[in-house]
A and B are shown apart, each in its own frame.
Chain A
Amino acid sequence: MSVKLKALLKSPWVFHLSTGSCNNCDIEVLDCLTPRFDIERFGMLLAGSIRHADVLLVTGSCNRKSAARLKTLYEQAPKPCLVVAIGECSMSRGMFIDSYNCPLPLDKIIPVDAYIPGCPPKPEAIIAGAVKLINKVQKSVTKV
Chain B
Amino acid sequence: MGRTIVPIGPYHPLQEEPEFFTLTVEGEKVVDIDVEVGYNHRGIEKLSEQKTFDQAVFLVERICGICSTSHPFAHVRAVEDVIPMEVPERAKYIRTIIAESERLHSHLLWLGLAGHFLGYNTVYMWAWKLREEVLDAMEMMTGNRNNYAMFKPGGVRRDINIEIATEVIRKIDSIVPTLNMLKKAVMDDPVLHARTKGVGVLTKEEAIDYCALGPTSRCSGVARDLRKDSPYGAYDKVEWNMIVTQNGDVFDKVVLRVLEMYESIKIIKECLLGMPEGEIDANIKSIPPGEGIGHIEAPRGECFHYVRSDGTNTPERHKVRAPTFMNLPTYKSTIIGETISDATIILAAIDPCYCCTERMAVRDTKGKKVYNGEELIKLSQAKTEKLKEKFKC
Hey, which bits of chain A sit against chain B, CB under 8 A? 16-28, 30-31, 34-36, 46-49, 60-61, 63, 65-66, 69, 73, 95-96, 98-102, 119-120, 122
Task: Say what secondary structure dominates the interface of chain A.
Answer: loop
Whole-angstrom CA separation of A25 from B43 in the bound complex: 19
Q: In the complex, which of the residues B10, B43, B62, B125 contacts A22, with contact meaning CB atoms closer than 8 Å?
A: B62
Knowing A65-B39, A69-B10, say if A99 contacts B46 (CB, 8 Å).
yes
Knowing A34-B132, A69-B10, say if A23 contacts B39 (CB, 8 Å).
no
Q: Does B16 contact A95, Cβ atoms closer than 8 Å?
A: no
Q: In the complex, which of the residues B42, B65, B124 contacts A96, with contact meaning CB atoms closer than 8 Å?
A: B42
Interface positions, chain B 11-44, Cβ under 8 Å from A, are 11, 13, 16-18, 38-44
Q: For residue B16, which residues in chain A have a CB less than 8 angstroms away from its CB?
A: 16, 18, 23, 26-27, 30
Q: Is B160 an interface residue (CB 8 A)?
A: no
Return the 9 tightest CB-CB contacts between A and B, nearest first.
A24-B65, A48-B13, A23-B65, A34-B128, A26-B16, A99-B43, A22-B62, A35-B129, A22-B65
Whole-angstrom CA separation of A101 from B65 in the bound complex: 19
Q: In the complex, which of the residues B59, B128, B145 contacts A35, with contact meaning CB atoms closer than 8 Å?
A: B128
Knowing A34-B128, A34-B132, say if A26 contacts B41 (CB, 8 Å).
no
Q: In the complex, which of the residues A48, A73, A102, A119 contacts B147, with contact meaning CB atoms closer than 8 Å?
A: A119
Interface residues in B, total, Cβ within 8 A: 36
Q: Does B64 contact A23, Cβ atoms closer than 8 Å?
A: yes
Q: Does B40 contact A60, Cβ atoms closer than 8 Å?
A: yes
Number of A-B contacts (CB under 8 A): 111
Whole-angstrom CA separation of A22 from B42 in the bound complex: 9
- Of B41, B66, B68, B132, the most chain A CB neighbours within 10 A belong to B41
Whole-angstrom CA separation of A63 from B42 in the bound complex: 7
Q: In the complex, which of the residues A18, A28, A30, A36 contacts B146, with contact meaning CB atoms closer than 8 Å?
A: A28
Task: Say what secondary structure dominates the interface of chain B.
Answer: loop
Q: For residue B10, which residues in chain A have a CB less than 8 angstroms away from its CB?
A: 66, 69
- Of A20, A22, A48, the most chain B CB neighbours within 10 A belong to A22
10 pairs, CB–CB < 8 Å, chain A vs chain B: A20-B18, A20-B41, A23-B353, A24-B65, A25-B65, A27-B146, A30-B16, A31-B132, A63-B41, A120-B145
Q: Does A36 contact B64, Cβ atoms closer than 8 Å?
A: no
Q: Is B63 an interface residue (CB 8 A)?
A: yes
Q: For residue B66, which residues in chain A have a CB less than 8 angstroms away from its CB?
A: 23-24, 27
Hey, which bits of chain B sit against chain A, CB under 8 A? 10-11, 13, 16-18, 38-44, 46-47, 50, 58-59, 62-66, 68, 109, 124-125, 128-129, 132, 145-147, 353, 355, 360
Whole-angstrom CA separation of A34 from B11 in the bound complex: 22
Q: For residue B42, which residues in chain A have a CB less than 8 angstroms away from its CB?
A: 20, 61, 63, 96, 99, 101-102
Q: Does A100 contact B64, Cβ atoms closer than 8 Å?
A: no
Whole-angstrom CA separation of A16 from B40 in the bound complex: 15
Q: Does B40 contact A18, Cβ atoms closer than 8 Å?
A: yes
Q: In the complex, which of the residues A27, A48, A102 contacts B65, with contact meaning CB atoms closer than 8 Å?
A: A27
Distance in Å: Cβ of B210 to nearest Cβ of chain A: 24
Q: Does A63 contact B40, Cβ atoms closer than 8 Å?
A: yes
Q: In the complex, which of the residues B59, B65, B109, B125 contacts A120, with contact meaning CB atoms closer than 8 Å?
A: B65
Which chain A residue has the least Cβ–Cβ distance from B133? A36
Q: Does A99 contact B47, Cβ atoms closer than 8 Å?
A: yes
Knowing A23-B64, A99-B42, say if A34 contacts B129 (CB, 8 Å).
yes
Q: For residue A23, which residues in chain B have a CB less than 8 angstroms away from its CB?
A: 16-17, 64-66, 353, 355
